[in-house]
């Protein structure tokens, strides 16, 4: 059942089933949306991440539908708060992301849309693993301050065009992204956002992330899959 968000009439709260677990989601559907971007948040975060919600608003302004969802159910969140074991279980998170993707594809309002993933932190690794496992589902991936290195051998199997966005002051993560970039064999781009730290809190940096992401998704969600390398 959909429930409207009074703060944004384009956003509806949804319940997504994944096996026995019910996950909360926020689905944004602008008129005439030509693609869907599913968000995979980082460790310890949720669909209410203010940064991802800000990026999602920009993507909707660009004509793209957005789906932010909680990677963990309520009981899983409680367990993970104590152990931290699920938030770094990349294969588990990738399977959860794929289940949500299949749910989205089954919705009449979303069927037939080109689909992309926007991943942050560990969520970026889950997005890349999911894209590698199911290239027929995913047309594009964008990582914001992500840990693509945690995708491991799956990086070389990703066929979706992938954009890595990293802050210039996020030195350790930038180095990890540079190494991961070399492992990617699909169309790819690594963009360093000047003056940005890991959370992109500096003035204008998150807006730059949103603009770059919107450009990438707009370019690739309507493009043929497995297109030539850039």
Cβ count near 79 (within 10 Å): 14
pLDDT at 141 over 50: yes
Q: Do 158 and 132 contact (CB within 8 A), yes or no?
A: yes
How many domains would you assign to the chain? 1
Over residues 145-183, the pLDDT tens digits come to 999 999 999 999 999 999 999 999 999 999 999 999 999
Over residues 15-55, the pLDDT tens digits come to 988 888 889 899 999 999 989 999 998 766 678 788 899 99
Sheet strands side by side (includes 162-167) = 3-5, 8-18, 21-28, 65-69, 35-40, 114-120, 140-144, 162-167, 188-193
Is residue 156, in this structure, part of any structural domain at all? yes
Is residue 108, in this structure, part of any structural domain at all? yes
pLDDT at 223 over 80: no
pLDDT at 197 over 80: yes
Is residue 132, in this structure, part of any structural domain at all? yes
Give the CATH number, domain containing residue 143. 3.40.50.1820
Q: What is the span of the domain harbouring residue 128?
A: 9-220
Is residue 4, in this structure, part of any structural domain at all? no
- In a 10 Å sphere around its CB, with 0-12 CB exposed, 13-18 middle and 19+ buried, how is residue 194 labelled? exposed
The structure's pTM equals 0.89
Over residues 211-222, the pLDDT tens digits come to 999 999 999 996
Q: Decide: helix, strand or coil at residue 21.
A: strand
Instruction: Compute the distance between CA of residue 70 and CA of residue 52 in angstroms, rounded to an integer.
Output: 12
pLDDT recorded at residue 3:
37
Is residue 1, in this structure, part of any structural domain at all? no
Task: Tell me the two tokens of residue 176.
Answer: 């990890």
Is residue 228, in this structure, part of any structural domain at all? no
Instruction: Write the DSSP string, 147-178.
Output: -GGGGGGGGGG--S-EEEEEETT-HHHHHHHH
Is residue 230, in this structure, part of any structural domain at all? no
pLDDT recorded at residue 48:
79
Averaged over 137-148, what is the pLDDT? Answer: 96
Instruction: Compute the distance between CA of residue 131 and CA of residue 220 in angstroms, rounded to an integer.
Output: 14
Is residue 187, in this structure, part of any structural domain at all? yes
Averaged over 78-84, what is the pLDDT? Answer: 60
């Amino acid at each position: 059942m959909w429930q409207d968000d009074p703060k944004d009439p384009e956003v509806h709260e949804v319940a997504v089933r994944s096996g026995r677990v019910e996950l909360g989601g926020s689905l944004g559907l602008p008129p005439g949306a030509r693609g869907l971007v599913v968000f995979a948040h980082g460790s310890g975060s949720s669909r209410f991440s203010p940064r991802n919600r800000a990026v999602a608003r920009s993507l909707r302004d660009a004509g793209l539908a957005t789906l932010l969802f909680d990677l963990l159910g309520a009981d899983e969140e409680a367990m993970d708060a104590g152990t931290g074991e699920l938030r770094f279980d990349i294969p588990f998170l990738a399977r959860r992301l794929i289940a949500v993707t299949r749910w989205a594809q089954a919705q009449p309002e979303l069927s037939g849309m080109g689909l992309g993933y926007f991943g942050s932190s560990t969520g970026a690794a889950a997005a890349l693993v999911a894209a590698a496992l199911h290239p027929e589902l995913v047309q594009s991936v964008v990582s914001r301050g992500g840990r693509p290195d945690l995708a491991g051998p799956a990086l070389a199997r990703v066929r979706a065009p992938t954009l890595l966005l990293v802050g210039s002051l996020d030195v350790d993560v930038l180095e990890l992204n540079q190494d991961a970039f070399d492992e990617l064999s699909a169309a790819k781009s690594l963009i360093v956002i000047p003056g940005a730290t890991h959370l992109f809190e500096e003035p204008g940096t998150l807006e730059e992330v949103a603009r770059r992401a919107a450009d990438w998704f707009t370019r690739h969600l309507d493009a043929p899959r497995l297109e030539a390398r850039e």
